[in-house]
């Protein structure tokens, strides 16, 4: 008679799966609360204590740590191993269904105590998973309720056992890494950075067709950016980068906003009372670059928004929701990808970048920190009330543009919007000129935001020549006095923030 051992914290589907095994002639063995759950369901179950001849000890800390269990798991299908088991009156275990105490979830709570964290370090469960996975040639190990098979015949398939062993080892590796990281924080020791990533999608290629690429997520079965792809072709490598940039940018605004991204940098940003009213100005910021772009909205998209695209070719649209009318209209664009994002997408606090021979890790720039200095007007002329509002909008928008970021912005009754964006150039004055070329006549009476200080007065002089009336920048250059003098000579309002927002 084949034997299955159950010891699960997450009991999702466990009772139904055990019932199916029982109906197929399996013997059920279970520990602690799992055994009580199966007994309550009317299933014949042998408690682990009956198998070992020892009661649970230390308030449940010791249940399955016994040779009767681990010898039954590790025994090979050889005459010698089977005879050794039989001599002790033990029988082999063929299937292990185990998942672990939720240590990561518990220690993520800000109020968790050390005692509570320690009690959620699983010992026996990890030992069961490792023993069963090691003996995958004979034993099947299931560490995730999602893997409980509908057809029990797969339990006897060698390739299934191998895949499940791999999952079990990956699970225990991540579990141990989380424990080590927690204790490193407690001890004040440098944290060893370990990543456990799961392949979620094999991409057609990377940035170019000759490059191979795979999309990985932190959780098994992860989805693009944690969202749901509603229609369109599978997302490409470049799509994912642009969507990430667009969603990060639009999510930084509390008010209704739309962001147009091309090649990982915004080419249009607008706020308004509704997404459809913000869409037009966002596209108009740089309609040439908007072709083939990714567009993000931080509010639900409706039919008016879709109609506002006016036939513009767009690769992807990302938003927290789409009305039925919008979905019906978007369905006519078969190749357009729609990505619905959850309200809370669990944005990461840190980011990694690969360099030759290593990695760089930093906290993500979430905007001006809470302890940032107050903005300081350093010019003779102070910004008007309207300029103040436009400067704050432009300052937030420029944080998402590749450095040296320059954003020109204006406003109308319905909202605020960029009229020209320049970035990604080796020098700042060229970015001012590029933003001015994008804006044209709209640069007159616009405001300007610069992600870092102007090292020379030439950038301010170029902005004044465009017709800009107010500038916000970090300040801190050794030539600040010259920059301020240039602003005063041109009659510009100049504000220093004391905070820089490079995005390389």
Residues 6+ apart with CB under 8 A from 313: 291, 292
Tokens 């091309």 appear where?
262
Pairing of strands 406-412, 447-450: antiparallel
> How far is C-alpha 214 from the geometric centre of its chain's CA atoms?
16
Tell me the two tokens of residue 126.
Answer: 């990890």
Q: How many other CB atoms sit within 10 Å of the CB of residue 188?
A: 6
| Strand, helix or coil for residue 64 | coil
Catalytic annotation present for 334: no
Is residue 181 a contact partner of residue 106, using CB atoms and an 8 Å limit?
no
The per-residue DSSP string of 98-129 comes to EE---HHHHHTSTT--HHHHHHT--SHHHHHH
How far apart CA 278 and CA 272 sit, in angstroms, is 5
**Lookup: tokens for 90:** 């033990």
CA distance 38 to 31: 10
Q: Please say whether the dihedral angle defined by the alpha carbons of residues 496, 497, 503 and 504, taken in this order, is positive or negative.
A: positive
Going by C-alpha positions, the residue among 74, 75, 54 that lies closest to residue 64 is 54
Distance CA 172, CA 190 (A): 22
Q: Tell me the angle at which helices 124-134 and 158-187 cross, rounded to the nearest 10 degrees.
A: 140
Smallest CA-to-CA distance from 52 within 36, 73, 34, 38 is with 73
| Residue 432 contacts residue 425 (beta carbons within 8 Å) | no
What does the angle CA 358 – CA 364 – CA 366 come to, to the nearest 5 degrees? 165
Q: Which of 11, 66, 120, 263 is catalytic?
A: 263
Report which DSSP code applies to 226.
Answer: G
CB under 8 A, 24+ apart: contacts of 51-56: 51/90, 56/31, 56/32
Of 421, 398, 401, 417, which is closest to residue 409 (Cα–Cα)? Answer: 417
Phi, psi values for residue 250, rounded to 5°? -70, -30
**What is the end-to-end Cα distance of the chain in Å, rounded?**
63
The neighbouring-strand residues paired with 335 are none
E strands within 218-256? 228-231
70 carries an active-site annotation: no
- Report the distance separating Cα 343 and Cα 228, nearest Å: 12
Which candidate in 66, 120, 134, 233 is catalytic? 134
Positions annotated as catalytic residues are 134, 263
């Amino acid at each position: 008679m084949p034997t299955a051992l159950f010891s699960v914290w997450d009991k999702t589907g466990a009772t139904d799966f055990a019932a199916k095994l029982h109906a197929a002639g399996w013997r059920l063995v279970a520990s602690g609360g799992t055994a009580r759950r199966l007994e309550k369901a009317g299933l014949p179950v042998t408690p682990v204590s009956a198998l070992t001849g020892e009661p649970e000890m230390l308030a449940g800390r010791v249940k399955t740590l016994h040779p009767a269990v681990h010898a039954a798991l590790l025994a090979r299908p050889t005459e010698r191993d089977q005879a050794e088991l039989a001599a002790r009156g033990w029988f082999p275990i063929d299937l292990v269904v185990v998942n672990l105490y939720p240590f990561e979830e518990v220690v993520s709570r800000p109020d968790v105590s050390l005692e509570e964290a320690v009690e959620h370090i699983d010992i026996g469960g990890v030992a069961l998973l490792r023993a069963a996975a090691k003996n995958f040639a004979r034993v099947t190990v299931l560490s995730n309720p999602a893997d409980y098979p509908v057809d029990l015949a797969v339990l006897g398939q060698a390739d299934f056992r191998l895949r499940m062993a791999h999952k079990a080892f990956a699970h225990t590796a991540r579990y141990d890494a989380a424990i080590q990281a927690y204790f490193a924080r407690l001890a004040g020791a440098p944290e060893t950075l370990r990543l456990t990533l799961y392949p979620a999608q094999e991409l057609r290629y990377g940035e170019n067709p000759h490059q191979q690429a795979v999309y990985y997520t932190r959780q098994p079965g992860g989805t693009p950016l944690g969202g749901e792809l509603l229609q369109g072709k599978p997302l490409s490598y470049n799509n994912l980068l642009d969507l990430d940039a667009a969603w990060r940018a639009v999510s930084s605004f509390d008010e209704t906003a739309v962001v147009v991204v091309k090649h990982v940098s915004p080419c249009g940003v607008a706020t308004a009372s509704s997404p459809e009213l913000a869409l037009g100005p966002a596209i108009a910021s740089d309609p040439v670059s908007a072709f083939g772009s990714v567009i993000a909205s931080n509010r639900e998209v409706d039919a008016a928004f879709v109609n506002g695209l006016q036939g513009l070719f767009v690769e992807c649209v990302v938003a927290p929701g789409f009305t039925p009318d919008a979905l019906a209209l978007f369905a006519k664009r078969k190749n357009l990808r729609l990505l619905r994002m959850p309200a809370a997408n669990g944005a990461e606090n840190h980011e990694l970048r690969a360099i030759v021979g290593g990695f760089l890790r930093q906290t993500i720039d979430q905007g001006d920190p809470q302890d940032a200095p107050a903005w300081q007007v350093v010019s003779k002329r102070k910004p008007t009330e309207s300029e103040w509002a436009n400067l704050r909008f432009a300052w937030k928008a420029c944080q998402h543009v590749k450095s040296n970021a320059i954003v020109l912005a204006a406003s109308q009754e319905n909202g605020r919007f960029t009229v020209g964006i320049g970035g990604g150039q080796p020098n700042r004055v060229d970015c001012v000129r590029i933003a001015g070329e994008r804006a044209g006549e709209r640069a007159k009476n616009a405001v300007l935001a610069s992600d870092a200080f102007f090292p020379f007065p030439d950038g301010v002089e170029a902005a004044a020549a465009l017709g800009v009336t107010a500038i916000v920048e970090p300040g801190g250059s050794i030539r600040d006095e010259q920059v301020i003098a240039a602003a005063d000579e041109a009659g510009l309002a100049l504000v220093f923030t004391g905070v820089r927002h490079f995005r390389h």
